[in-house]
Structure 1
Amino acid sequence: MRVSQDEKVQTVITTYEVTPGTYLDLLEELRNSFEEFIRKQDGFIAGAVHTNDAQTRIANYTQWQSREQFLNVLRSDEMRRMNRKFSDLSKGFEPVLYEVHASFEAG
């Protein structure tokens, strides 16, 4: 995955607040959703899942070819079903759409 302000893609960062008791369950659900559904959807470019050491936060970062393609997936029956599971396993989560305004590489 390459982050660049030159590319016209839709970036979505979703954060989840969890407990150490639900952390692994939500992580497994997220992995399954990427493997079985999200990565196969029109417009999906790439995604990554991040966790903190305390096992109280999970974030995922996805890139889509367009805002419309992301919203179509978000509104699909399958994604709505998955989001209900994510909600059950977390204290709360929020997908937020972003634009990249600056990126930096080593050197």
Structure 2
Amino acid sequence: MPQIRDDFDGQTVITTFEVTPGTAHDLLDALTAAWAEVISQQPGFIGGAVHLNDAQTRIATYSQWNARTDYQAMLRTPEMRERNRVINQLCRSFEPVMYEVQSVYNT
């Protein structure tokens, strides 16, 4: 499970996908399978989540990794390269961005 803490020194990746309401659930199915069968099984994976906006025009994923190299290695596996080709066809665009936690606020 991801834990958002300001002392986290691993890699956080937030990916946004631009979709249409007609393809949103197809992409969710592909992402769910990729996360269950490949991504969550990779070395260095800590946790993640998949989100769909109300209009079904955007999907966002959040993942945490022990290191940037762990995330990059996952992307380079033959399985994820093939899955990303399919994912790319189901959306208008997608963009993974690497982030570092700067601050956290809780009640």
> What's the TM-score once normalised by structure 2's chain length?
0.96
Q: Distance in 2 between matches of 1:103 and 1:59?
A: 20
Q: Where in structure 1 are there 5+ consecutive unaligned residues? A: none
2:27 maps to 26
Residues 16-52 of structure 1, C-alpha deviations (whole Å, 9 max, x = no match) = 0000110000001111111111100000000100110
Identity, % of aligned pairs? 51
Q: Distance in 2 between matches of 1:77 and 1:36?
A: 13
2:67 maps to 66
Q: Distance in 2 between matches of 1:90 and 1:58?
A: 10
Residues 34-81 of structure 1, C-alpha deviations (whole Å, 9 max, x = no match) = 111110000000010011000000000000000011111111111111
TM superposition outliers: structure 1 runs of 4+ over 6 Å: none
2:51 maps to 50
2:78 maps to 77
Shift of 1:4: 0.8
Q: Distance in 2 between matches of 1:74 and 1:100?
A: 22
Q: Where in structure 2 are there 5+ consecutive unaligned residues? A: none
The amino acid across from 2:52 in the alignment is T
Q: Report the count of equivalent residues.
A: 106
Moved more, 68-77 or 40-49: 68-77
| Secondary structure class of the residue paired with 1:21 | coil
| Secondary structure class of the residue paired with 1:20 | coil
The amino acid across from 2:50 in the alignment is V
Shift of 1:105: 1.0
| Secondary structure class of the residue paired with 1:39 | helix
| Secondary structure class of the residue paired with 1:28 | helix
